Structure 1
Amino acid sequence: MAEEPSKVIRQFSLIHAMLASRFGLTIDEILNTVDGYRDTFDPYSEKSLAAVTKSFERDKKEIRDLGIIIQTRSPADASDDNHGVRYLIDPATYVLPPDVEFSRGEIALLQLAARAWQHGSMNKEALRALNKLRSLGIEPDSSLTGVRPRISGWNSAVNEFGEILSQEGVAQFDYLKPGDVAATTRQGAPLALIDWNGLWYLLAWDLDRNAERTFLVSRVTTVPRMVPGKRHERPDEDFAAHLTAELEELASHNIARVRVVTDSDADFRLTAKYGAADARGEISIPTADLDLLADELSEFGTDIEVAAPDELRTRLRKRFRSRSTATAKPSLSSDRRSGQNALHRAVSY
């Protein structure tokens, strides 16, 4: 069953209020002014106060699980009851860059993706995604009613991890690390699940290694399952914010530089995603994972040249060689020799 509309509206209103408030809102201000709370809150009833406060704490947790960073500010003389704490969302961490716009077709695709989740096991996550779209000023297209695209593959792992996370359970799954030839079975208690730069990442407490580990969901080779009888209570920390900060910090220190053929598919797609080339004609690409970037760049073939780093050039060369071997014919024609030379130039600039 889909999440009730009143909860969707309440969470959307809370996000909007925390974005709009320059100095943040106290819990009293939230309960008395935000739609979804104020219409059910009776300030003279302790039972009502307890109920809406519980709803607020639950909503706050779910919003953070979505990857939205909720900041808190406490006054110097704050008491232990947290009534002086102010909650806010920094627009700089939430809004789209000013030069990014969605076409009508792109908006339709975003809505279809959310609906694909909504009709699967990710009802809550789908509605939260629509919440975020609406709060960015993107209204769904009503003409798409009834369209239900099917999405398979690693999205099922996202579904299961989200469910296990919400139940504070322990997940078991097989994971293929870069460079390994076989996946290994892992057990971890999910702490955060975020979509960062178009890829899903899981932060979990690895029970076998007794430490936090970050997993790229697309490298999970089996559908995660909840381990019966095992639970892991989550500490009261904003793990989604921590994971986002770690990935951004890692990416800021790993900058790849590539050149592209003018007006090629690589030119249009990479400049749209990472920005225009500099005076040297190079596009700078921050990355948290060179293997993932190599996978992305390998799609463009001879339309790109890797300037740096050497590790990326090596990874890309391996991918080109693998594809060349997979499609090789018995005889080495002059056309094929020419193609191989072109691929070599693409990764040895």
Structure 2
Amino acid sequence: MLETSARLLRLLSLLQAHREWSGADLADRLGVTPRTVRRDVDRLRELGYPVNASPGTGGGYQLGAGAELPPLLLDDDEAVAVAVGLRTAAGQGIDGIGETSVRALAKLEQVLPGRLRRRVSALNAFTVPMLRGPAPSTVDPAVLTELAHLCRDAERLRFEYRDHDGTPSRRTVEPHRLVCSERRWYLVAWDVDRDDWRTFRVDRVTPKPPHGPRFAPRTPPADDLAAYVSAGISTRAYASHAAVRLLVPLAEAAERLPASAGTLEPDGPGACVLRTGAPNLDVMVIHVMMLGFEFEVLEPAELTEAIRTARDRLARSLARAGGSGPRTRDGADRTPGPRNGSGAAW
């Protein structure tokens, strides 16, 4: 059995990790009796932690927001500084800490007093970040934390969604996880009406409460949800799909290519395979040529022909402009053609 101090910390962690617990569930997790749980909850209250309790068979314990911050955590100024930092990291999609920031922010805002919430909101509203490169998609941190809570508590989400062309639709989903790419957030969820898994850009989501009821979590569509989302936004979303062998090591390609370029697979020490998509083969030609690597087309065969067509068109344009590709002494054009899966490279 856990010692009292360790058990109190474990109880507090459980209350922060889930919106509501029954007394029996907490007793089972802690390995104690329901009576001990009640005594431990009273101790947390004496320490200043706002634990709410609802009676009856459907009741339970819930960590609520209080008039004072719980002791031994943060003073007012520290709490504001942490919340602002977490909101900034969550909203800008900083690599490696974005998803963690949302989880931490969801826990902090659960117990943040109203007066401090207003200070945090005012500071965020009147602060303009200066970023390098193009501005990221605008995501309201409040929406992120709302989605994080619904994922955590396994509650259905209702929202309005705007497609890439701005067409609105109403969706009801069972949210599973938030996934952060370089500068965008995505929600992986089970679409109740379409009876299938879907990926939604969070900057296009407008929650429409009330939410609920709760649901039993489903088996996720993949073990690696980051790879699943990457494949969805780079390949599955498009009509034309292709696989090309990049003649560089996997680590080098992964460092230079964003997740939106496609998914990478190892293919020996000096190469890797990129699986990607595009609206049509003409766009695919531009896409693979702009990758910045030499490559071999693995599939489809039509892509090789489309590249040849593009090469010939460029050669004719160069000729009309007074330029040409490299030629032999007898005048034959030596401009290389694309190689397909049989082996040759650009």
Q: TM-score range by the shorter chain?
A: 0.3 to 0.5
Give the TM-score of the pair, scaled to structure 2.
0.41
| Rg larger for | 2
Which is bigger in relative contact order (C-alpha 8 A, separation at least 6)? 1
